[in-house]
Structure 1
Amino acid sequence: MTEEKRPSLAQLRRDLATVTTADDPRLLALQADPRKGAQQLRQQLERRFAKQAAAEAAFQERLHYERPFWERGQRVAGIDEVGRGPLAGPVITSAVILPPDFDVPLVNDSKQLTPKERARLYPIILAQAEAVSIGAASPQLIDQVNIYQATRIAMQRAVVGLGLAPQHLIVDAMQIPVDLPQTRLIKGDAKSASVAAASIVAKVFRDHLMDSYDRLYPGYGFAQNAGYGTAEHLAGLAERGVTPIHRRSFAPVKAALSTE
């Protein structure tokens, strides 16, 4: 093929914009194009597909714990929590039952995703999951029974709230007080797609809630810090005092109460 007969690089980019697999003949044909721009375009596409393949392989690995139950026709729920460390706001938990054909490779530990990615995945999980539930433990419950026990109660509430009964639970590190067999995983949100989906749902739900609290109780930075003890939050405590959503058993809040 002569240089004159080759499509321009701009035309190549337009043509290759619809390439979705690494074995597309149009991508393979680029290997014979000696132009530097064409080879750079080929390398960009190959890197993209390699990254997608790695993401898919990692996602399939995160289905390792679910597959045995799906093969037996059983439902398995992933459970995770968010908000154990903040000085204000509830602990939020989520339970998610994914279908056996769930295939959204970006679903991963919510802490490894950007806010934009979590916001995009949240409605996808809600739409594709067989069941999703939220559990909460209020600041008052946290103060009454301690953060660990309050988190267990919130997880229990999430499981009980599922519209479908699971036969097994996959839990991020904790044991839930329900009469169901449980697989407890350290860093479960990075090892199980079901737990990862629950972590995304819980995180997005709680962030929206803290945005609402920021409007109700301005001056603490809840929309930015989600209730964690940032400098802005601590300054708000010192200047404005303790709100009804603060955890009074947590040391910085206790200290603020002692000065009121």
Structure 2
Amino acid sequence: MLVCGVDDAGRGSVLGPLVIAGISIEKNKIKQLVKIGVKDSKQLSPQSRERLYEKILSIVDGYYVAKISPKMIDKNVNKNLLNQLEANYMAKVIKKLEAGSSYVDSCDVNPKRFGLYISNIAKTGKIISSHHADRKYPVVSAASIIAKVSRDREIEKLRKNHDLGSGYPSDSKTMGFIKNWVSQNGDVPIFVRKSWKPVKILLKSST
């Protein structure tokens, strides 16, 4: 039976896409993921993630990566629908992978509600929704690595032309980049999320 794992990367970032990735694998092959050392991507160095990324793709039976643009994120955050947006994309990934059961890392405070929402959209197989699923289930750990590497590669493309820092609002380099851009252009670049509070403050102070 095919089992699916789904996770996100870049939810808290102030720029770039929110990436949703899923992998599908025959249940009897999950031990191979454990053997190569998959774990929550946040616990791995960038070099380890890149190395594991290639190994994961050589083991799994299928994978799918969806990227949500800053514009789409802003549209939904402004309506207080970010969790629903993420659930919709997780359902899309699950439908593509057609597994008998799917494990997802819940971004909702209520994992059961999040799982039911995905299930109602995906209408395929069983959905197991949990907090910290990327630490509990190797299939979600593998998905978290695929998501993180995919997002890191998107950010690297931006770094070729911009000195961005990490992309997170706690990074003074990132916020300095956005502040300078706003002061010079009166708005943020298309890859920055306008709906994030620190960005709203910068935009408001520039008017």
Equivalent residue number for residue 244 of structure 1:
190
What one-letter code is carried by the residue in structure 1 that aligns with 2:2?
R
Quick check: 1:77–1:97 contact (8 Å CA) kept in 2?
yes
Contact 2:6 2:21 in 1 (8 A): yes
The answer to whether the 8 Å contact 2:7/2:105 transfers is: yes
Aligned to 1:159: 94
Q: CA deviation at 1:179?
A: 1.0
- Spell out the pairing of 1:1-260 with structure 2 (5 A cutoff): 74-99=1-26, 100-102=28-30, 103-104=32-33, 105=35, 106-146=37-77, 147-162=82-97, 165-173=98-106, 174-175=114-115, 176=118, 177-180=121-124, 181-216=126-161, 218-221=162-165, 225=166, 227-229=167-169, 230-241=171-182, 242-258=188-204, 259=206
RMSD: 1.5
One-letter amino acid matched to 2:24: I
Amino acid at match of 1:101: K
**Alpha-carbon contact 1:84-1:151 (below 8 Å) kept:** no
2-structure distance, mates of 1:127, 1:187: 25
Q: In structure 1, what is the Cα distance between the partners aligned to 2:71 and 2:134?
A: 27
Conserved in 1, the CA contact under 8 Å of 2:92 and 2:122?
no
SS of residue matched to 1:86: coil
Q: Which has the higher contact order (CA 8 A, sep 6+)?
A: 2
User: Aligned with 2:160: secondary structure?
Assistant: helix
Q: Counterpart of 1:125 in structure 2: which amino acid?
A: I
> Contact (CA 8 Å) 1:94, 1:158: kept in 2 or not?
yes
CA distance in 2, matches of 1:193, 1:86: 25
Offset of residue 127 of structure 1: 1.2
- How many angstroms apart in 2 are the aligned matches of 1:157 and 1:138? 16
Q: TM-score, normalised by structure 1?
A: 0.65
The Cα of 1:256 is off from its aligned counterpart by: 2.2
Letter in 1 for 2:103: I
Unaligned segments of structure 2, at least 5 residues: 107-113, 183-187
Aligned mates of 1:134, 1:89 — CA distance in 2: 15
Letter of the 1:115 counterpart: P
Alpha carbons 2:6, 2:23 under 8 Å: kept:
yes
Matched with 2:185 is none
Q: CA shift at 1:79, angstroms?
A: 0.5
Q: 2: CA distance between counterparts of 1:238 and 1:113?
A: 31
Whole-angstrom CA distance in 1 between matches of 2:70 and 2:88: 13
Q: Percent identity?
A: 29
Structure 1 segments (4+ residues) deviating >3 Å: none
Cα shift at 1:214: 1.6
Instruction: State the AA in 1 paired with 2:83.
Output: Y
Normalising by structure 2, we get a TM-score of 0.81
Q: What SS does structure 2 have at the residue aligned with 1:189?
A: helix
**Contact 1:91 1:154 survives alignment (8 Å):** no
Distance 1:215 1:114 in 2: 21
